[in-house]
Amino acid sequence: MIRRLFAEWIGAFSLLATVVGSGIMADRLAGGNIAIALLGNTIPTGSILVVLILVFGPISGAHFNPAVTLSFAIRKDIGVLDSVLYVGAQVFGGISGVLVAHVMFDNPLIDLSTTVRTGLGQWVGEFVATFGLVGTILGSLKARPKAVPFAVGLYITAAYWFTSSTSFANPAVTIARGFSNTFAGIQPSNVPAFILTQLIAAILATYFFQWLLDGEAS
C-alpha cells in the first residue's frame, strides 16, 4: 500500500507540475495569443498522462484522480479505505506539484487563483469531460487494456479543446489549480461546483458503461 500511495502521490504531483508549469510557460511565450497558450498547455498535459500511466499503472493503477478512484470503488475494484487513502495522496500530490511549478517559474509559492470558471456552460463542460474520461478508461480496459495510457492522453488532449471548461475532469486537479493564479487556475470559490459535477458524472458514467459494456459482452 505504501508503494501504491507513493505512486499516486508522485503521479498527481507530476501531472499538476506539468499542467501548471506548461501553462505558465505557454502564457509567457504566446505573446497574448490565448489559442497558442492553450495549445502549449494541452500537448504537455496529454503527453505526460501517457507517460505517467505507463510508469505507474502497474503499481497503483495510475488513477491520479478521485473521480476515477470513485468509479473503481463503485465497481469494487478498490476498497473503501484504500480509496480514501488514494484520494488523500492524489490531492496532496497535486498541491505539491503546483507549489513546485511556482518555485520553478519564480511565482509566489501560494497564489490563490482569481480566474472565474462558473456557470451552466462550464458545469456542462466538466460533466461531459469527466463522463467521457471515465468512459474512455472503462471502455479501453474492456477492449484493449494496453491502450489505456494512450487513450486517456488523447482524450484529455481533445477535451481541452472541445469542452468549455478545458477539461479539468479531476477533483484533485481542480483543488490544486485553485492555488495557482496562473493560466491554469480556477477561483477557489468555483471549485466545489466543479467537483460536485465531476463526481456526479463519474458515478453516472460508471453505471452507464457498466451496462453498455456488459451488454456488448452478452
Amino acid type, 68: V
Q: Which pLDDT score is estimated for 216?
A: 53
**What letter would DSSP give residue 77?**
S
Alpha-carbon Rg for the chain in angstroms = 16
d(CA 167, CA 93): 19
Percent of the chain whose predicted confidence (pLDDT) is above 70: 98
CB 15 within 8 A of CB 64: yes
pLDDT tens readout for residues 148-180: 999 999 999 999 999 999 999 999 999 999 999
Q: What average pLDDT does this structure show over 4-10?
A: 98
Mean pLDDT taken over the chain: 96
Q: Which pLDDT score is estimated for 214?
A: 86
Work out the burial of residue 54: count CB atoms within 10 Å of its CB; fewer than 13 is exposed, 13-18 middle, 19 or more buried.
middle
d(CA 46, CA 1): 27
Q: Say whether pLDDT at 217 is over 80.
A: no
Split at pLDDT 50, 70, 90, the class of 44 is very high
Q: Which pLDDT score is estimated for 204?
A: 98
The domains located in the chain, with CATH, are 2-217 (1.20.1080.10)
Q: Say whether pLDDT at 218 is over 50.
A: no
HSE-up (13 A, CA, CB side) for residue 71: 33
Q: What average pLDDT does this structure show over 191-196?
A: 98
User: What contacts 64, CB < 8 A, 6 or more positions away?
Assistant: 8, 11, 12, 15, 52, 56, 90, 93, 170, 172
